[in-house]
Amino acid sequence: MKSSYFSSQDSRSGYCKRGLLFCFLLLLISMTGCGKKELPLPPPEEIPPGVVDLSGNLDGDTLTFSWSIPEGKNADLLVGYQVYRSASPIQDTDCPDCPVNFWLLGDMKISEFNTSDTESRKLVFTHILEPEDKDTMIAEDSGPVVQPGSDQKKRPDTRIYQYKVVGYTDYNVKSPDSNVISIHHPVKTGEAQNKGSHEK
């Protein structure tokens, strides 16, 4: 009887020890899990200033754009610019309040320019039009269509092309849209939507 009693007591003691060990392991795992951290969020940023002096011209098949890096609050956060374009037949510009689809034409980092360009705060972007290139760009909604000036003739074989630039920071905080400019050229040339490049 005594042997059976002690054997039963030892068995219960073993179960208790295993139970305590199991609880300790669960506690250890849960404490380890509490220390796990998620990926850090980017620090809050305010919107950087937008470009106000975008200008451009077309010489043959070469488009040249220029603008100044704006000054003011958060201007030092700007790291690059995206250039956007839209294309509409001249006859479709009779609806000034209709939304316009812009396509991403090029993306550039401010650091890619020469120091002299950065010091003068003037950036230049060139884009070559080639008929064999395909349209592979991403659309983005924007504001109203800019009507051509009264001194510009509406030729049936032309399109109105509009351009804008948008700055961004390291955390992809976008600036307001720049001023929108319009450039007219023949449909045959204008159908090319190609890779852009920038001057240094």
* Distance in angstroms (rounded) separating the CA atoms of residues 146 and 144: 6
Domain 55-198: which CATH class?
mainly beta
Mean pLDDT per 10-residue interval, the chain, length 200 residues: 51 62 66 54 72 91 91 92 85 68 91 62 85 40 44 54 94 94 65 41
pLDDT of amino acid 60: 81
Q: Where are the domains of the chain?
A: 1-37, 55-198
Helices (H), the chain: 2-34, 115-120, 187-190
Using a pLDDT cut of 70, give the percent of the chain over it.
Answer: 47
pLDDT at 191: 43
Handedness of CA 85, 91, 92, 93 (dihedral sign): positive
Write down the pLDDT at residue 146. Answer: 44
* Contact present, 49 and 75 (Cβ < 8 Å): yes
* Amino acid identity for residue 32 in this structure: T
